Amino acid sequence: MDDSAPKESCGVFGLYAPGSPVSHMVYLGLFALQHRGQEAAGIAVSEGDKIWVDKDTGLVSTIFNDYRLQTLRGDLAIGHTRYSTTGSGDWQNSQPVYRQVGKHQFALAHNGNLVNTEPLATELGVPADGIGSDSDLAAELLARELHGGSGDQDELVEAFVRTLPRLSGAYSFVLLSQDAIIGVRDPHGFRPLFLGRLNDGGWALASETPALDVIDAAVVREIQPGEMVVIDGAGVKSLWPFPAEEIVPKFCSFEYVYFARPDGNLRGQNVHRVRQRMGEALARQAPVDADAVVPIPESSVPGAQGYAHESGIPYVDGFVKNRYIGRTFIAPTQQLRRNAVKIKLNPIRENIEGKRLVVVEDSIIRATTLLETMRMLRNSGVAEIHLRVLSPPYKWPCWYGMDTTDQSKLVAAQMSVEEIRTFLGADSLAYLDIDAMLTAISPEDTTGLCTACLTGDYPIPVPSHGVANGRTETRWNLPIEAVIP
Ligand code: SF4
């Protein structure tokens, strides 16, 4: 089955906690960020004189066990969960990526997607079609900036500060050196990154606040767009590697719609509450006479609650979602594809048979799974299906960290709303307006958000072709990383 839900490009985590078993804590943080990438995961720890990296393909829980974590000794560490937007999803492209230059060692983990990989690769003398991962490219650029190789931390920080302005696109990085962890967001702040404080005085960095909650770290604040924080024995130092005029916040609005965990906060807004507001706004914008409001689990649940609350139509569970499904796979026949959807999602016939339903979905990207879901509803004897979508039509490719770079696969780019309604077999179909979505996200201030996939308004130029175009299977020949078995 082609799983038609959008994929996030990664989760990152970092920990500076002298005297604590950091690898086990990073494991917990990564577990909380598993939804941001299920292809691969990795942890890098510093023992002071050396950095160890352990990473593999698969889920966090299948890669790491207690023995493996105990071999990762050290006071500071970073971690990564990966879904590939540039580069294939195999082991060589898993993260953190590692480099050694002279006495310097560092490991780098990346959430986002660079859009200028082609010119950067040319600069490095790597064939354009030979790039495996934009994160590896960033690590190589930094390695080549470390001319001195003295091992001095200031030298590494200065090299990183010189490297960052050469990168274009979306990045929230965490970097591990022998003595420090560093967090940085691109000047638009497309992807989130938070600073947390441990009870015993250590510090943490995480893509989302629930990853701080699980290790009992207090959320201190978001790392600001264009900000770099260096965390070491002296505390937290904030640096600003970019000119002030280049810092223009454009946080990904789809983090609220689909990616982020509902129990987290982004830019001061609880994600669950934002999704409820989207549902409330949709009920006002696209009312319909119906018997029940049904979410397509799970990210649409708060939106359906909001729609039900605002409309007065009862909220009903129409599906059971299998909690043990991770990634799904391409099935060779139509019948197997239908079976695969039913493994994930099965209708509760008794709750929906004979009823006129408002079916709430967070977004429609490729529509393949949704098509099967609609068939399931019809086969369950539903009288009417009024499909309501918590975001505007997704028409333009994302180049900033989501796997939707192929516009030909975006159903809203290929069909009108009426054509999509017919294609899906719905009795009616309505999308939330862009202004209503932005107000639901941030009622006080609707600026500072990226909406490129919904409006075509790209904050930074994107490539029209080339190495950043989707998931290439080729790799470049950079030095193999030091990895413990
Ligand atoms: Fe997010 Fe869409 Fe912007 Fe990509 S294009 S960063 S998915 S809002």
Residue 469, pLDDT score: 35
Strand 356-361 versus strand 292-295 pairing type: parallel
CA distance 468 to 143: 21
Q: Which residue has the higher pLDDT, 132 or 179?
A: 179
449 in contact with ligand 1, CB cutoff 6 A = no
> What are the residues whose beta carbons fall under 8 Å from the beta carbon of 26, sequence distance 6 or more?
13, 15, 43, 45, 77, 78, 79
Strand 384-389 versus strand 356-361 pairing type: parallel
Residue 462, pLDDT score: 80
Q: What is the mean pLDDT of residues 226-251?
A: 96
Could you tell me which of 11, 48, 42 has the C-alpha nearest to residue 27? 42
Residue 474, pLDDT score: 30
Q: Which residue has the higher pLDDT, 283 or 403?
A: 283
- What CA–CA distances, in Å, run from 198 to 16, 126, 183, 346? 9, 42, 16, 42
Rama region for 380: left / alpha / beta (φ>0; ψ in -120 to 50; rest): alpha
> What are the residues whose beta carbons fall under 8 Å from the beta carbon of 353, sequence distance 6 or more?
380, 381, 382
Distance 308 CA to ligand 1 centre (A): 28
Q: Looking at the predicted structure, is the pLDDT value of residue 47 above 80?
A: yes
pLDDT digits (tens, 9 = 90+) for 25-40: 999 999 999 999 988 9
Distance 409 CA to ligand 1 centre (A): 16
Residue 86, pLDDT score: 55
Which helix (DSSP H) or strand (DSSP E) does residue 181 occupy?
Answer: strand 181-185
* Residue of the CA atom closest to atom 4 of ligand 1: 398
Tokens of 243: 């000119």
400 in contact with ligand 1, CB cutoff 6 A = yes
pTM of the model: 0.91
171 in contact with ligand 1, CB cutoff 6 A = no
Q: Looking at the predicted structure, is the pLDDT value of residue 238 above 60?
A: yes
Does the annotation mark 398 as catalytic?
Answer: no
Among 223-232, 415-424, 440-449, 457-466, where is mean pLDDT lowest?
457-466
Q: Which atom of ligand 1 is nearest to the CA of 458?
A: 5
Distance 95 CA to ligand 1 centre (A): 23
Q: Which residue has the higher pLDDT, 223 or 467?
A: 223
pLDDT tier for residue 338 given thresholds of 50, 70 and 90 = low
53 in contact with ligand 1, CB cutoff 6 A = no
Q: Looking at the predicted structure, is the pLDDT value of residue 476 above 50?
A: no
257 in contact with ligand 1, CB cutoff 6 A = no
The answer to whether the beta carbons of residues 79 and 13 sit under 8 Å apart is: yes
- Would the CA dihedral through 56, 57, 61, 62 be positive or negative? negative
Among 272-276, 281-285, 347-351, 459-463, where is mean pLDDT lowest?
459-463
Q: Which atom of ligand 1 is nearest to the CA of 454?
A: 2
290 in contact with ligand 1, CB cutoff 6 A = no
What is the DSSP code (8-state) at residue 478? P
Distance 448 CA to ligand 1 centre (A): 12
> What are the residues whose beta carbons fall under 8 Å from the beta carbon of 235, sequence distance 6 or more?
none
Residue 483, pLDDT score: 31
Q: Probe ligand 1: pick from 83, 252, 399, max atoms within 8 Å of CB?
A: 252
441 in contact with ligand 1, CB cutoff 6 A = no
Average pLDDT value for the chain? 89
Q: Which atom of ligand 1 is nearest to the CA of 449?
A: 8
Could you tell me which of 304, 277, 245, 256 has the C-alpha nearest to residue 454? 256
pLDDT tier for residue 482 given thresholds of 50, 70 and 90 = very low
Q: Probe ligand 1: pick from 185, 402, 437, max atoms within 8 Å of CB?
A: 402
* Residue of the CA atom closest to atom 6 of ligand 1: 252
266 in contact with ligand 1, CB cutoff 6 A = no
CA distance 54 to 47: 14
* Count of other CB atoms within 10 angstroms of residue 67: 7
The answer to whether the beta carbons of residues 468 and 86 sit under 8 Å apart is: yes
